[in-house]
Amino acid sequence: MLTMLHISDIHFGKPYVHEVGEAVIKAAHEMALDVIIASGDFTQRARREEFAQARDFLNRLPKLPIVVVPGNHDVPLYRVFERIFNPYRLYREYISDDLDTVHHLENAVIVALNSTSPLRAITNGRLDSRQLDFCARAFADVPAGISRIVVTHHHLAPAPDYEGGQVMPRAKRAMDCFSELGVEMVLGGHLHRAYIGNSLDVYPGRDRERGIIIVQSGTATSRRGRAREREKNTLNLIRVGEDRIRITHFMYFDDLFGFAPISRHIFPRSGRHYLLDPSSPEDGIALASPVGVPDDLKPPGNRKPPVVPDDRKPPVEVRDERRPAPPDERRPPPPGDGSFGMSAPDSPVGG
Ligand SMILES: [Fe+2]
């Protein structure tokens, strides 16, 4: 099992909310994580003091591998000379010297790609063919069963309502490439709202069997939430197991002074089209079993119990429903008006 915390769009500067940031740090220490992923926009205006605060924030997280990528707010939008000639100077100084990275974990390889394009596509970002080649080399010798994950700041698939503008130019080319490379999951931010789904929901692509799980994080610590996460802060907890991926979407609540789960998403791992063991105790909930499948093809846990021959079944009393029940079988009327006009539940009442 690989446990990842996914945060994004921290936005140190005016939008940053101190108490929420403190809750993120506390949550990260409580979650028994293997890796933390921060998918860009550490600052609001790429100022030195904002980067210094972001570095302090990262230093207070658990001492784990931290996967980072720059966001469009981490390059100086208004300092044009710097943006043209040295756009990543402060990002490299405070966050990471490398812009495209590969992290090898016990059961996952995470490729983080710098999707910012300081000269051409400042807002919507870009991935170029050199980066797709970098990705291909990183995944070239990864054994089957090891999860292949890509992180970018900009979104490669739109939110369901297309709020937040256009996706990255040539995103479909990138998604087709990732699909061919066996990428299971793409993590991003930028939209300031979460979206957890599958690429096939929005883009069938060349391979309609092999969708890619899309995990967008909202803004973890800033006032810049959008759409249903306006003025909200969210983060994702991702668990990659042997046969499934579980993603829990957490939201900050003022009355808790912390984050609480608001939804959970369970996907079969790549190469598996459905969930084999729907009652896994790790999920804490029972999912629906396969239905309509011949018993001899079902996984063992989902087979029906053998049919008992009729002569061994207990006798069933057949009573004419049109006749009134004998007095001792009549039930008292349901109490109060709690039935909403429907028949009372079939359970004893009164004493
Ligand atoms: Fe952002």
User: What SS3 class is residue 262?
Assistant: strand
CA of 214 to the centre of ligand 1 (A): 18
User: What SS3 class is residue 251?
Assistant: strand
CA of 171 to the centre of ligand 1 (A): 19
- For the chain, the domains span 2-273, 278-306
Q: Report the C-alpha gap between 184 and 162 in whole angstroms.
A: 23
Give the pLDDT score at 231: 92
Say if CB 335 and CB 349 are below 8 A apart: yes
CA of 74 to the centre of ligand 1 (A): 9
CA of 73 to the centre of ligand 1 (A): 7
CA of 151 to the centre of ligand 1 (A): 15
CA of 27 to the centre of ligand 1 (A): 21
CA of 43 to the centre of ligand 1 (A): 8
Chunked into runs of 10 residues, the chain (351 residues) has average pLDDT values of 97 97 96 97 97 98 98 88 87 97 96 90 86 97 94 89 75 92 96 92 77 95 92 96 93 94 89 70 65 70 57 51 49 38 32 37
Q: How far is CA 309 from the centre of its chain?
A: 48
CA of 153 to the centre of ligand 1 (A): 9
CA of 313 to the centre of ligand 1 (A): 65
* 155-to-29, 70, 230 alpha-carbon distances in Å: 28, 13, 18
Question: What's this model's pTM, rounded to 2 decimal places?
Answer: 0.82
CA of 346 to the centre of ligand 1 (A): 54
Give the architecture-level CATH label for domain 2-273.
4-Layer Sandwich (3.60)
CA of 229 to the centre of ligand 1 (A): 13
Q: Report the C-alpha gap between 12 and 42 in whole angstroms.
A: 6
3-state secondary structure 194-247: CEEEEHHHHCCCCCCCCCCEEEECCCCCECCCCHHHCCCCEEEEEEECCCEEEE
CA of 5 to the centre of ligand 1 (A): 18
User: What SS3 class is residue 25?
Assistant: helix
Give ion ligand 1 contacts, CB < 5 A.
9, 41
CA of 271 to the centre of ligand 1 (A): 33
CA of 276 to the centre of ligand 1 (A): 38
Give the pLDDT score at 242: 87
The DSSP 8-state label assigned to residue 61 in this structure reads: S
User: What SS3 class is residue 86?
Assistant: coil
CA of 8 to the centre of ligand 1 (A): 8
CA of 246 to the centre of ligand 1 (A): 25
Q: How far is CA 29 from the centre of its chain?
A: 19
